[in-house]
Amino acid sequence: MQHHSNEPVITWIAVVDRHAARIFENRGEHTGLHLVENAPLQKHGKSNEHHDLHHKHSADTAVAKEVSHYLEHARTQKRFHRLVLVADPRMVGALRHEFHGPLAHTIHATVEKDLGHVNAHDLPEHLHGVLML
């Protein structure tokens, strides 16, 4: 996505786990994070199967598809220029697998940590070195 140099670069930070995708926006250095979307995800499987690795992989794939569809729609509406993915390593892999073409090219950085439980106020300290917040 092209943007004009006098406009701020809009970066979306997608914090994803199996339960929700929180999307934050940053509009440049020292502008902080602003919540765009706090989307609970559809239930993928039964909770008593949580130790089954095959089920975890299937759940990750389903979540990644759901998140990629949302982000692709937002990308086509030019709502962001670049993307930072924040999720545990397995989920980051599933997300990357589902991102194709132009959406894949928007990935600016990944943070392979499960930060789904981290309060939005504390999130910037985990993104040190990725963005100037």
Indicate the domain borders of the chain: 11-126
- CATH architecture of the region 11-126: 2-Layer Sandwich (3.30)
pTM for the whole structure: 0.85
Q: Strand 82-86 vs strand 34-40: parallel, antiparallel, or unpaired?
A: unpaired
Closest CA to 40 of 23, 27, 53: 23
DSSP-derived 3-state class of residue 89: helix
* pLDDT digits 0-9 by tens, 17-74: 988 899 999 998 889 999 999 987 776 554 444 455 555 668 889 999 999 999 999 9
Half-sphere exposure in the Cβ direction for 100 (13 Å, CA): 4
Please report the sign of the dihedral spanned by the C-alpha atoms of residue 45, residue 50, residue 54, residue 58.
positive
Contact (Cβ atoms closer than 8 angstroms) between residue 23 and residue 131: no
DSSP-derived 3-state class of residue 56: helix
Contact (Cβ atoms closer than 8 angstroms) between residue 39 and residue 47: no
CB atoms within 10 A of CB 122: 9
* pLDDT digits 0-9 by tens, 72-102: 999 999 999 999 999 999 999 999 999 999 9
88: tokens are 């545990």
CB atoms within 10 A of CB 31: 14
